[in-house]
Amino acid sequence: MNSMFYKYEGTGNDFIMFDNRTSVFPKENSNLIQKLCDRHFGIGADGIILIENDIDTDFKMMYFNADGSQTFCGNGARCAVAFAKYLEIINSKTNFIAVDGLHYAEIENDIVSLQMIDVNEIQINKNSVFAYTGTQHHVELVEDLENYPVFENGKKIRYSYKNPGANVNFAQKINDNTFKVRTYEKGVENETLACGTGVTAVAIAMHKINKTKANNIKLPVLGGELEVSFSVENEIYRNVFLKGPATFVFKGRIDM
């Protein structure tokens, strides 16, 4: 099968996009997904995103990690919005469905503001915070993030959680409303240049443990800068928005 694909990136998180409204992509084939994401023998990406038809919303987003496992991805969802606009499925605003539920988003000049799910699953541990922001996240404050062994320690912590494990975010406070973040992602099994659900977890965790009073937080990552805003009602984080660039890189055709 010869298929058109599109490559997008959101602050360095890169994705292979397929228009799957005709339901031809073999999404049960995890070996194919792994091969396409392989940076030496495939196209290369952190994951694959399918845009599909949905009866009740503008479109359905399906996200697969580089190992073929399915989850939700914040930066991937922002790129899915940009891709849906390219396909002329949407204009500047959209409601769509993903594995973790309904999402609203706005796009203007390649900047996508994505509404995340409400966050009420937050566990404060001795030296870390666990939060579910569409997928599982471990958040830990460290010093000297630039030289911190993210891969080595992230891999150990990732597997300390029960299946399916957790993404691991290491954060360093820069000022009252800015936290630098580096993330080890499960499914990719490596550090990535950014993680949207990860920075969302960091922003909420830092607010929860009183490291910031801000509800609009800047989060520099290796691939650029993201922004997370939220409100708090009865200890539930609502109106959570992840904002940042979502950029087209290239397109091509591939035999699968």
For residue 3, the SS3 value is strand
CA distances to 22, 58, 83, 104, 125 from 240, rounded to whole Å, are 32, 21, 22, 11, 23
Residues 6+ apart with CB under 8 A from 73: 13, 15, 47, 49, 63, 134, 135, 196, 197
The tens-digit pLDDT sequence of the chain (256 residues) is 789 999 999 999 999 999 999 999 999 999 999 999 999 999 999 999 999 999 999 999 999 999 999 999 999 999 999 999 999 999 999 999 999 999 999 999 999 999 999 999 899 999 999 999 999 999 999 999 999 999 999 999 999 998 889 999 999 999 999 999 999 999 999 999 999 999 999 999 999 999 999 999 999 999 999 999 999 999 999 999 999 999 999 999 999 8
State the fold for domain 122-243. Answer: Diaminopimelate Epimerase; Chain A, domain 1 (3.10.310)
Domains of the chain, by residue range, sit at 2-115+245-255, 122-243
> Rounded to 5, what percent of the chain is helix, strand, coil?
20, 45, 35
For 2-115+245-255, CATH number? 3.10.310.10
Tokens describing residue 108: 């203007």
Assess whether the region 2-115+245-255 and the region 122-243 belong to the same CATH fold.
Answer: yes
Residue with tokens 């899915």: 80
Residue 86 and residue 80 in contact, taking contact as beta carbons nearer than 8 Å? no
- Catalytic center residues: 73, 195
